[in-house]
Structure 1
Amino acid sequence: MKYLCLVYLDAAHWNACSDQVCAEYAQQVAASRRLLAAEPLHGTHTATTVRVRNGEVLLFDGPFAETREMLAGFYLVDAKDLNEAIQLAAGIPPAQHGSVEVRPVRELQLAPG
């Protein structure tokens, strides 16, 4: 089953883990054939939030919500169950400085035809 591990960090810890450390962990998980994708994100000052209301596209600078911790990156993993996904998330280096939200990926339920 696919799980998305969302990495959240506050501004003080945004660069607490080097790219090298994160890349090494990603390579380790990839070697076990459980990593589907992993990418860091630029800071929230680069974000644009898009909303569509009554057919009108509205753009806002920054993230959707005001929070202390901001989305810093993600790891998409293939794990046998939630416990394995949590173990993988616990190994993500920024988890030592922020938090990692683990969520199962839901497949779209499409009508036949």
Structure 2
Amino acid sequence: MTQYLLSMPHDSAEEPTMATMDPAELKATMALALAFIEELQGSGALVFAGGLHPPSTAVTVDHTGDDLALADEPYTQAPEYLGGLWVIEVPDRDAAVSWAAKASKALGSRIEVRAFQEIPA
């Protein structure tokens, strides 16, 4: 079976976090997210899931040269950023797209589906 990354974008201008959300909106969103995760777990497809802090909290580490360089900023600037993700293991792309459609419907967000590369035999 193949592992897929289902990722949920957020608007970079807003940088929402659970701490800044309206409590009622957070409760409703978390209920939807947890129901989706429980369905994934029940099917045996869930490998890992998580939400990320916004890019403004990132540190970029570069030790490709002789000196270690740290930058308190994201590696790239973009109008959207990766806000949440699920790693699932399913038989094929169609199954991954089906799970992404459920996540999109439940959370009211676009979901990107990408397979992890596998080492050639």
Q: What's the TM-score, normalizing by structure 2? A: 0.75
Distance verdict in 2 for CA 1:106–1:55, change over 3 Å = farther
Deviation at 1:12, TM superposition (A): 4.1
Deviations 1:26-53 (A, max 9, x none): 1111101111110111122211111223
- Following TM superposition, the consecutive aligned residue runs of length 4 or more in structure 1 with deviations greater than 4 angstroms are none
Q: Secondary structure at the match of 1:56?
A: coil
**Whole-Å Cα distance in 1 between the matches of residues 102 and 117 of structure 2?**
23
2:8 touches 2:85 (CA, 8 Å); kept in 1?
A: yes
Per the alignment, residue 6 of structure 1 pairs with 7
Where do 5+ consecutive residues of structure 2 fail to align? none
**Whole-Å Cα distance in 1 between the matches of residues 79 and 32 of structure 2?**
24
Deviates more, 1:39-48 or 1:7-16: 7-16
1:27 to 38, 58, 75: 38
Deviation at 1:105, TM superposition (A): 1.3
**Whole-Å Cα distance in 2 between the matches of residues 80 and 55 of structure 1?**
44
Normalized per residue, which structure has more strand? 1
Distance verdict in 2 for CA 1:107–1:57, change over 3 Å = farther
Alignment of 1:1-113 (within 5 A): 1-10=2-11, 11-12=13-14, 14=16, 18-92=29-103, 93-94=106-107, 96-97=108-109, 99-108=110-119
Q: What's the TM-score, normalizing by structure 1? A: 0.80
**Whole-Å Cα distance in 2 between the matches of residues 5 and 59 of structure 1?**
29
Deviation at 1:56, TM superposition (A): 2.3
Distance verdict in 2 for CA 1:13–1:56, change over 3 Å = closer
- Equivalent position amino acid for 2:60 in 1: T
**Whole-Å Cα distance in 2 between the matches of residues 58 and 13 of structure 1?**
25
**Whole-Å Cα distance in 1 between the matches of residues 64 and 119 of structure 2?**
24
